[in-house]
Amino acid sequence: MSPALMKMWISFVAMGFMFISVMTVYFTRFKIKNTIVRGILNTIAFLLIVLAGLIIFYVVFSGPVPEQ
């Protein structure tokens, strides 16, 4: 697999983490009443969004890949 294709899949994983994070926050805001469960799920969502940001930071600032 080429480096460019690998970066594409890594960025898709980051977008998936962002989507999961948004859905988790939505779910905890409107569906969950237990504050302990809400806190745990919000923490997981926060960690996923931070991880996604770090992945995107890596993909963007690692530079372009050379053409083959």
Could you report the per-residue pLDDT of 10-40, keeping only the tens digit for each?
Answer: 999 999 999 999 999 999 999 999 999 999 9
pLDDT at position 2 is 85
Tokens representing residue 55 in the block: 């992945």
Structure confidence at residue 49 as a pLDDT band (50, 70, 90): very high
**34-64 burial string, b = 16+ CB within 10 Å, else e?**
eeeebeebbeebeebbeebeebbeebeeeee
Q: Is residue 19 part of a domain?
A: yes
Yes or no: say if 55 and 17 are a contact pair by the CB < 8 Å rule: yes
Q: In whole numbers, what is the pLDDT of the chain averaged over residues?
A: 93
Q: How far apart are CA 26 and CA 19, in angstroms?
A: 11
Q: How far apart are CA 32 and CA 24, in angstroms?
A: 10
Instruction: Give me the number of domains the chain comprises.
Output: 1
For residues 31-60, average pLDDT: 95
Residue 57 has pLDDT above 70, yes or no: yes
pLDDT at position 68 is 65
Q: Is residue 67 part of a domain?
A: no
Q: Is residue 68 part of a domain?
A: no
pLDDT at position 37 is 95
